[in-house]
Structure 1
Amino acid sequence: SGFIIHAGIGYTVTMELTTGPILLLTVTAFVCWSALYGLFCWLQPHRSYEWNCRVVVLIHAVTVLSMSSTFGFLYNPWPFTHPGNKSNIYEITTMIVCLGYFLFDFCWCVWFYDDETKIMIVHHLVSIIGIAASLVTGLSGTEIGTCIFLAELTNPMLQFRWFMRSSGIKEGWVYELNDLMFMLMFALCRCVIASFFLYRHIKHPRPKPFFKVGGVALYLVGIVMFGHIVVFGYHKYTKLYRRWKSRDKTIENNKAK
Structure 2
Amino acid sequence: MGNPFVIQQRDVIDRASEQLPAWLGCALQLALTGLSSTTTGTENTPLQVIALILSLGYFIFDMGWCVYYRTEGPVMLAHHTLSILGILLALVQGESGIETCAVLFGTEITNPLLQARWFLRKVGRYDTLTGDVVDLLFILLFAGVRIGVGGRMLYCELASPRPSLAVKGGGIAIYGLSCVFMVDIARFACRKSASKFRRWKEQCKALGVNGDSGTTN
Same fold, judged at TM 0.5 (above): yes
Question: Which residue of 2 is the match for residue 247 of structure 1?
Answer: 203
Per the alignment, do residues 77 and 236 of structure 1 end up closer, same or farther by CA in structure 2, a change over 3 Å counting? Answer: closer
Q: CA deviation at 1:165?
A: 0.4
Question: Which residue of 2 is the match for residue 135 of structure 1?
Answer: 91
Matches of residues 70-89 of structure 1 in structure 2 within 5 Å?
Answer: 70-74=28-32, 76-89=33-46
Residues 79, 142 of structure 1: 8 Å contact kept: no
Question: Which residue of 2 is the match for residue 5 of structure 1?
Answer: none
**Residue 179 of structure 2 corresponds to residue 228 of structure 1:** no
Question: Which residue of 2 is the match for residue 150 of structure 1?
Answer: 106
Question: Which residue of 1 is the match for residue 143 of structure 2?
Answer: 187
Question: Which residue of 1 is the match for residue 26 of structure 2?
Answer: 68
Residues 52, 101 of structure 2: 8 Å contact kept: yes
Alignment coverage as a number of residue pairs:
209
Length-normalised TM-score, structure 2 = 0.90
- Indicate the RMSD between aligned Cα atoms, in angstroms: 1.7
Give 1:65's aligned amino acid. Answer: W
- Pick from 160, 163, 166 the counterpart of residue 207 of structure 1: 163
Query: After superposition, what is the alpha-carbon deviation per residue over 1:181-208, rounded to whole angstroms, capped at 9, x for unaligned?
Result: 0011111112111112112211211111
Residues 67, 94 of structure 1: 8 Å contact kept: yes
Distance between the aligned counterparts of 1:70 and 1:117, measured in 2? 31
Residues 37, 160 of structure 2: 8 Å contact kept: no
Question: Which residue of 1 is the match for residue 10 of structure 2?
Answer: 49
Distance between the aligned counterparts of 1:48 and 1:186, measured in 2? 28
- Pick from 131, 143, 147 the counterpart of residue 175 of structure 1: 131
Higher mean C-alpha displacement, 222-231 vs 134-143: 222-231
| Structure of higher RCO (CA pairs closer than 8 Å, 6+ residues apart) | 2
Residues 40, 160 of structure 2: 8 Å contact kept: yes
Q: CA deviation at 1:125?
A: 0.4
Q: Structure 1: where are the runs of 5+ without partners?
A: 1-43
Query: After superposition, what is the alpha-carbon deviation per residue over 1:135-191, rounded to whole angstroms, capped at 9, x for unaligned?
Result: 001010000110111111110000011011011112222221011100111111121
Give 1:146's aligned amino acid. Answer: A
